[in-house]
Structure 1
């Protein structure tokens, strides 16, 4: 009985050992499987992270705007291709930098100030600013910056930059076009006013005088004919001058850069202009004195300069009473030539003088012999003087005559 009991105990022990070994195998297998699962999980997670990062970069790189992420010190952590292209730099030259050192000196402070404000307040900032990129090219950009705080409390700036240079240039061009359109409308209104009133009136005078001549011939009053012919000639001369001004000015509006500069002898030029005006002056018994001028030449546009002088002399005759005088002086002063057309006419107040050269405010006044005019000649003078690189102004007092002055550069 004892032997059998002993045998059973040994058998039980072997059986327990076998069971323990089996359990150990299972434990080892389970542990191995757990490691394999963890390894597979890690590999899957890495793959997902890599694919996610690639996917994110692909999206960012296909965006038209420049995108960036900065840390609390404004150092760039992430940028897309558009950002690199805008700054003309590679990622390795961008990442870790603030880029403040790569912008113009006057832009640095603003460049970092907005970053600091966004990080501090958390308020999104949208701002238009200029950016001088490598090579000195200046662009106009619209920048949007927002704050992001991660789970660990770290603050970041997420932003996007849009190049709006083309749009801004288009806006400026549109504003220029609007301004030019307003000027053209003023020009059109002025032309219609002149054509509708100032040109029609002298032609009516000529017709009236022609009828008076016919009556004088029929009535045998030959002595009146000389007076009527003189008036017709004066009216025709002033009307022709106005028409020439209109044609010259209209051409100048179409081609604002049309200058033909040559070396001009001032004395010869003045003699020609004064000869043109002489009949008008003689009719009103006004003396045109010999010009005061140095022997000098100027490099300028002959037609424009003649137009300026002709208009100033015509204006002087118009507002000078019978028995008065007009004289022209020209003086050389360093690199400019100063012209002065003086008269002993009726003069004007300061308020009127300020309006003379502006097409919008200049109002025509009748001359001392009731001559008609448009006021257009002085507007044309100002435009031509400025086109030739000079400046024009008037000095006058009521009842004491006027001095119209302008200067032109000698050689430019």
Structure 2
């Protein structure tokens, strides 16, 4: 019995040991199962990551010779229609020749050193012919002895990044150019504006303190010098304003079909005085019916600057000729030729650049900044044309520019060119003129200029007064209307005058002739528009245009 009891105890103990071993084995099994599940989950996630990467990036493998042995679908989408378009080929087969020459030595060196490929940028040609930039990363595949079997890696298309980088670089370069132009701009303001001011202030001080000591001839010379200083100052301010507005994108171009010859003749009246002073003959040989598609104010600015330059650098007694011809590409080529002092190659290379120092004096000491030519170039290019120059020292210069032709040459018979000579006209007129101007100095200057053809001059200090005078004097021939007076402006005054007088000629006057204001004046009912200062040559143009017999 004791033997049997002992055996029972042993069995119980053995059973307990077995239970313990079972629990231990079960825990180990459960742990292994959990580890296996985690491993499977990790594998699943890794496969998902690989699939995600392969959907956006190109996963590839090459052998020890650099030939593709595997490609993901992304590579096929980029460079072929099936794996056969890539497998068996080398990366260089998809590169432009110059890129192959650059990359091949780098790849050969990496393979020789069994080095990791890290962020290697290279350009490739996609199957649609477009260039794309690829960022390549790869690791070497080695056997047990460390021999190179190939490379495994990922390529990413970074074309958008590179294009954005190039755009940022371009914008930075434009910013540097813009800053340099602004530096030049302020340099012009600091120097070229100060010089005429200094001359003007100095002469006025001398005349104020010692006027009684000078002869009439000396006073005349002083006033002529003062006039030249202020004229240069005004032209410079006008160009600076136009240039700054263009840089800010504030100039709106309103191209329309315009008669080239008449627009040029109007512009030449403004520069006729310096030409007359230097005894320079200006001729215009352009057909009357030749039309261009351009902005009126812009064309006049171009002509004024080019002809002013020609006069400035042409000796006394010389000639300036303006001509035009139709080109086969539906453009018109306008040429402004002079018999001036010309330019050498070094000066020609600096033209049309703000950072080029070309502000030499004219043949009689006239000041020059070069800004007008830069303005002309930008204006012309904005209208689809181009500007260039031919010149030789001692033989003069010819400035050429093109503008769009209003209609095809085959659609119009232009007829023969007729030569127009710009010269002063002393014919007296008998006109009744109303001057609407609130500035006393401007009113005085305009009144003196009007006397050459006006036998009766009426004055108005406000636009309201101008409207009332016009109502009480229906026989007024011409109204010179300042559009920027306080209160009721000149545009509204013109509208009110047109309600009871449709025939009177109204010319709008403003401080600066800005693009868009001419159209605004015409819409208000004005017949014409020009910028101050008013002189006899501008008024002569008005008289010839509206009152010639």
User: What is the TM-score when the length of structure 1 is the normalising length?
Assistant: 0.72
- Would you say the 8 A contact 1:312–1:378 is kept in 2? yes
Q: Which residue of 2 aligns with 1:291?
A: 284
1:144 and 2:137 equivalent? yes
- Would you say the 8 A contact 2:388–2:400 is kept in 1? yes
Q: Which residue of 1 aligns with 2:534?
A: none
Q: Aligned with 1:368: secondary structure? A: coil
1:192/1:99 CA distance change after superposition, 3 Å: farther
Deviation at 1:142, TM superposition (A): 0.7
Q: Distance in 2 between matches of 1:131 and 1:173?
A: 20
Q: Which residue of 1 aligns with 2:200?
A: 206
Q: Aligned with 1:161: secondary structure? A: strand
1:66 and 2:57 equivalent? yes
| Residue among 373, 380, 404 paired with 1:385 | 380
Q: Which residue of 1 aligns with 2:46?
A: 56
1:397 and 2:395 equivalent? no
- Residue-by-residue CA offset, 1:139-173 (whole Å, 9 max, x unaligned): 43211244424569994541112332343233212
Deviation at 1:266, TM superposition (A): 0.8
By percentage of residues, which structure has more helix? 1
- Residue-by-residue CA offset, 1:63-86 (whole Å, 9 max, x unaligned): 597252436462436x4xxx74x8
Deviation at 1:130, TM superposition (A): 4.1
Q: Which residue of 2 aligns with 1:195?
A: 189
1:220/1:76 CA distance change after superposition, 3 Å: closer
1:128/1:120 CA distance change after superposition, 3 Å: closer
Q: Distance in 2 between matches of 1:257 and 1:130?
A: 41
Any gaps of 5 or more consecutive residues in structure 1?
Answer: 1-39
User: What is the TM-score when the length of structure 2 is the normalising length?
Assistant: 0.56
Q: Aligned with 1:291: secondary structure? A: strand
1:55/1:363 CA distance change after superposition, 3 Å: same
Report which stretch shifted further, 138-147 or 210-219. 210-219
When the two chains are superposed, the root-mean-square deviation of aligned CA atoms in Å is: 4.1
Q: Which residue of 2 aligns with 1:254?
A: 248
The 5 A counterparts of 1:332-411 are: 332-335=326-329, 336-410=331-405
Deviation at 1:53, TM superposition (A): 4.4
Any gaps of 5 or more consecutive residues in structure 2?
Answer: 1-28, 408-549
Q: Distance in 2 between matches of 1:167 and 1:256?
A: 33
1:108/1:277 CA distance change after superposition, 3 Å: closer
| Residue among 120, 129, 139 paired with 1:127 | 120
Q: Distance in 2 between matches of 1:48 and 1:221?
A: 111
Deviation at 1:393, TM superposition (A): 2.1
Q: Distance in 2 between matches of 1:292 and 1:246?
A: 31
Report which stretch shifted further, 214-223 or 338-347. 214-223
| Residue among 152, 161, 164 paired with 2:158 | 164
1:250/1:316 CA distance change after superposition, 3 Å: same
Deviation at 1:108, TM superposition (A): 8.8
Deviation at 1:195, TM superposition (A): 0.9
1:383/1:94 CA distance change after superposition, 3 Å: same
Q: Which residue of 2 aligns with 1:37?
A: none
- Would you say the 8 A contact 2:192–2:369 is kept in 1? yes
1:279/1:257 CA distance change after superposition, 3 Å: closer
Q: Distance in 2 between matches of 1:345 and 1:127?
A: 60
Report which stretch shifted further, 264-273 or 353-362. 353-362
- Residue-by-residue CA offset, 1:229-276 (whole Å, 9 max, x unaligned): 444333322221111111111111112995332222111211121111
Q: Distance in 2 between matches of 1:408 and 1:281?
A: 26
- Would you say the 8 A contact 2:245–2:251 is kept in 1? no
1:196/1:154 CA distance change after superposition, 3 Å: closer
Q: Distance in 2 between matches of 1:374 and 1:318?
A: 12
Q: Distance in 2 between matches of 1:241 and 1:139?
A: 51
1:281/1:167 CA distance change after superposition, 3 Å: same
Deviation at 1:291, TM superposition (A): 0.3
1:49/1:148 CA distance change after superposition, 3 Å: farther
- Residue-by-residue CA offset, 1:203-249 (whole Å, 9 max, x unaligned): 22222343455467534744555544444333322221111111111
Q: Which residue of 1 aligns with 2:521?
A: none
- Would you say the 8 A contact 1:216–1:222 is kept in 2? no
Q: Distance in 2 between matches of 1:363 and 1:135?
A: 50
1:52/1:319 CA distance change after superposition, 3 Å: same
Matched residue count: 359
Q: Aligned with 2:68: secondary structure? A: coil
Q: Distance in 2 between matches of 1:257 and 1:96?
A: 58
Q: Distance in 1 between matches of 2:188 and 2:314?
A: 23
